[in-house]
Amino acid sequence: MLLLQVEIFNCVESKISTSLISNSFIMTFKEILRKLNNRYMWATLAFLVVILFIDQFNLFEQLHLRHSLNDQKQQIEYYEGEIAKDKAYLDALKNDTATMEKVAREQYLMKRDNEVVYLIETQE
C-alpha cells in the first residue's frame, strides 16, 4: 500500500511540475508578445533595420570602408618607405662622387677621355 501511495505521489508530482513548466513558458511567451506589441519597440526595430541595412552608410558599407582604409594605410606606409629610399639615393647622388660617376656611366653611357664603351645587347 505504501508503495502504491509513493508511486501515485511521484506521478502527480511529475504532472504538476510539467504543467508548471508549460505554464511558465506560456507566461513568458505572452510577456514577449506583449512587449513586441508595444509601439516603441516597433519604432526601435524599424530604426535599427534602417540603420543597419537600408541607410547609405549601412553595416556592410562601413565594413567595406574600414577595409579600404586599412589598404590605404598600408599604401601610405609603403610609399613613405619608398620616399625615404629615394631621398637617401638623391642625397648620395648629390654628395658622393663615386655614386654620381656610377649613374653617369650606367644610365647615360658617359665615358672618360681615352675610353671606349662597348654595348652588348642580349636577346631575351
pTM, two decimals, is 0.52
Where residue 13 falls among pLDDT bands split at 50, 70, 90? low
* 93 CB neighbour count, 10 Å cutoff: 14
CB 36 within 8 A of CB 29: no
Largest Cα–Cα distance of the chain, in whole Å? 131
- Helical residues (DSSP H) of 1-124, grouped into ranges: 2-36, 39-49, 59-95, 97-108
Q: Which helix (H) or strand (E) holds 109?
A: none
pLDDT score at 23: 57
Average pLDDT over residues 9-16: 55
Where residue 123 falls among pLDDT bands split at 50, 70, 90? confident
Grid coordinates standing for 81?
618607405
- Which DSSP state fits 54? I
Average pLDDT over residues 114-124: 84
Query: What are 95-109's pLDDT values in tens digits?
Result: 999 999 888 888 888
From CA 11, how far away is CA 17, in angstroms rounded?
A: 10
CA–CA distances in Å: residue 2 to residues 8, 12, 21: 10, 15, 29
